[in-house]
Amino acid sequence: MAADIIPKVPLFKSLSEEERLQLAQCTTRMSYAEDELIMEQGAEGNSMYILVSGEATAEKDGKAVYTYRNSGDFFGELALSSPGGLRAASVRAVGKAETSCFMIGKKNLDKVMGLSSEMLVERQRTYGTFKHELSGEKTSSVHEFVQTFQDKVTTLPTCVCFLPDCLAPSARPH
């Protein structure tokens, strides 16, 4: 099922299908009851989350600032772009139905994405200029932000993380 959701995530748009499948294999499905904390503001960020079902609300200093409602919505990625990165907000499961997410750890994300993880650094820079709900100021639409981010990501170099058969050790020039 992760293989069906990963392609919906704008953050992974520039990955090849093989990279998205590898990433899907690195996910862990997590389930949360109503009002259960998924991630805590100020905690070290070592994973990101992709919403599968249910709803989750981002809270800044205890105040709800954004609600994730759609399968493929993601959060927690900003803290991954720097060592010891801290969570900018808490995210809590809301609603009567169970909230389900795929969790991807930083090590797995780095392993699969290689140099493409630079997109997380670029996202952090872009995010800093975006007046998001977390800042409490008037914002542009999330769609507009994601589109701007996607445009920037497609210009980043990607790395070949998996060698095709033709470049297996026996086929490489000596």
With 80 as the cut, is the pLDDT of residue 13 above it? yes
The closest alpha carbon to 85, from 127, 53, 140, 25, belongs to 127
Q: Using the predicted structure, report yes or no on whether residue 29 has a pLDDT greater than 90.
A: yes
Q: Are 71 and 5 in contact (CB under 8 A)?
A: yes
Distance CA 116, CA 138 (A): 31
Q: Strand locations in 27-128, DSSP E?
A: 28-32, 37-39, 47-53, 55-60, 63-68, 74-75, 90-94, 99-105
At 2 the three-state DSSP class reads: helix
What digits encode the pLDDT tens for the residues 151-164? 444 433 333 333 33
pLDDT band at 24 (very low <50, low <70, confident <90, very high): very high
CA dihedral sign, ordered 164, 168, 171, 173 = positive
All domains in the chain, ordered by first residue:
2-156 (2.60.120.10)
Structure tokens at 146: 């994601």
Cα–Cα distances in angstroms (integers) from residue 31 to residues 27, 53, 96, in the given order: 13, 9, 13
In this predicted structure, the answer to whether residue 174 has a pLDDT above a threshold of 90 is no
Q: Can you tell me the distance from the alpha carbon of 35 to that of 16, in angstroms, rounded to the nearest whole number? A: 36
Which is nearest to 74 in space by CA: 16, 165, 145?
145
Top-confidence residue, 94 or 106: 94
